[in-house]
Amino acid sequence: MNVLIVDDERHVREAVKLLGEWNSWQVSHIYEAEHGEEAKRLLDTGTIDLMLTDVEMPGLDGLTLLEWTKNHHPKVVTIVLTGYDDYTYMRRAILHQSFDYLLKPVDPDVLNDALSRAMECIHPVVESGEAIDQIAKYIETHYAEELTLQFMSERFYLSREYISRRFKQRFSVNLSDYIQTIRLNRAKELLSETEARIYEIALEVGYQDDKYFRKVFKKQFGMTPNEFRELLSI
């Protein structure tokens, strides 16, 4: 995955590089261009997947660059960065198939949300849900480990926002609730199949604090682990 940032202001390019959660999307290289002509030369290498471009630049402006990119490299996903909240600019950007239109100064959350959605266009396999299924399978076999959204983001090279949104769409529960359900269902099995102590079972399914484990177990099943075990012995 290669990204191109086009802006005649160096501090803007640096800000985008700093604020983007690039590691989440397996970005291997971020190229920079000060103007449209330089951007065209980089685009012609055929290595660019995503381009973020300013509108107002000396020489070849951003909107002309968008039109050229659409005609010569239609697979490149483009995002506009501009300091002008202008409907005419926005309309032209949309006509040239820009994926999104972001205002400067760049807001980190807005930027990363746009990047997350853009990645879905660049990685159709990810969009199909295969990566989310892989995450679910990983949880089913590694439930006893410390599992966080940040950990999943780093392991599967996806943004936290993307995982959170897609996981909820696919399984109708958020990631943390899914992890908890897997852990507690396994705890029920251990309670019925073994004579292990409650704190031992808590540790085995991923809970370091057995008091917290007892609390979430009761909330999930309407009874404490001990009550559940007593029910089985009747």
Tokens of 224: 């404490």
Q: Residue 59: what residue type?
A: G
Residue 202 CA, distance from chain mean position: 30
Q: What does the pLDDT look like over 48-106, one tens digit per residue? A: 999 999 988 888 888 899 999 989 998 899 998 887 776 666 666 676 677 888 888 88
Q: What is the pTM of this model?
A: 0.55
* pLDDT reported for residue 233: 76
Burial class (CB in 10 A: 0-12, 13-18, 19+), 58: exposed
Read off the tokens for 198.
């409650």
Domain residue spans of the chain: 2-122, 125-234
Whole-angstrom Cα distance, residue 19 to residue 109?
A: 9
CA–CA distance, 148 with 2 (Å, rounded to integer):
27
CATH of domain 125-234: 1.10.10.60
The reported pLDDT for the residue numbered 95 is 66
Instruction: List, as own/partner pairs, every contact residues 159-162 make where C-beta atoms lie below 8 angstroms and the sequence separation is at least 24, other chains included.
Output: 159/21, 159/24, 159/25, 159/112, 159/115, 159/116, 159/119, 160/21, 160/24, 161/112, 161/113, 161/116, 162/24, 162/116, 162/119, 162/120, 162/126
3-state helix, strand, coil split of the chain in percent (to 5) is 60, 10, 30
| pLDDT, position 83 | 79
Q: Are 82 and 89 in contact (CB under 8 A)?
A: yes
What averages of pLDDT result for each successive group of 10 residues across the chain (234 residues)? Answer: 93 94 86 94 92 87 88 91 72 72 89 87 64 90 92 82 85 93 95 94 95 95 93 78
For 112, 121, 172, 210, the CA distances from 118, given in Å and listed in that order, are 10, 5, 23, 42
Which class in CATH covers the domain with range 2-122? alpha beta
pLDDT of residue 208: 93
Return the pLDDT at 126: 47
Q: List, edge to edge, every strand of the sheet that includes 29-33.
A: 29-33, 2-6, 50-54, 77-82, 100-103
What count of other Cβ atoms lies within 10 Å of the Cβ of residue 195?
8
Which residue pairs, CB below 8 angstroms and at least 24 apart, start in 176-179?
Answer: 176/149, 178/136, 178/139, 179/139, 179/143, 179/147, 179/206
CB of 66 closer than 8 Å to CB of 93: yes
Report the pLDDT value the prediction gives residue 26, as an integer from 0 to 100. Answer: 77
Amino acid 206 reads: G
Tell me what pLDDT residue 27 has.
87
> Do the beta carbons of residue 33 and residue 79 sit within 8 Å?
no
